[in-house]
Amino acid sequence: MDTIRLAVGQLIDGNGSPASANQALLIEDGTIVTVGPDASVPRPAHARTYASPAATAVPGLIDTHIHLVIPRTPGSMLDEMLAMSDDELVVLGAASSHAVPAPVYAPPTYPAKNVRRTD
């Protein structure tokens, strides 16, 4: 099981409440299983733990911004797309967005400012 514990300076729950300070998230196999005050979120011994006191987390936010980039070459899909209706293009865009999974949290591959691994 891949477990990540992420402590953040504040968290916005998306329900219209003000941001909550000193929060943490526990993520198991890509699913957020616990969110709450840092002191109350479990600290499993096997979890990779990160602390980012200057960060704000917005769990559940879905990034729906996507670019459909298709090279203009003879016989490319772009020729087919030019003949599609708006409704067909929306369905194609939705299908493309589901085909590009994003990790819940990807640890930085470079020294990131204000993020430290704590385990």
Q: Are 62 and 45 in contact (CB under 8 A)?
A: no
Q: Are 24 and 8 in contact (CB under 8 A)?
A: yes
Domains of the chain in sequence order: 3-62+108-117 (2.30.40.10)
Percent of the chain with pLDDT over 70: 65
Give the pLDDT confidence of 6-64 residue by residue, as tens digits. Answer: 999 999 988 888 999 999 999 998 889 999 999 999 999 999 999 988 888 888 776 66
pTM for the predicted model, two decimal places: 0.56
Closest CA to 27 of 54, 53, 8: 8
For residue 116, list its beta bridge partners.
Answer: 51
Rounded to 5°, the CA angle 63-68-70 comes to: 155
DSSP 84-107: S-HHHHHHHHHHHHHTS---S---
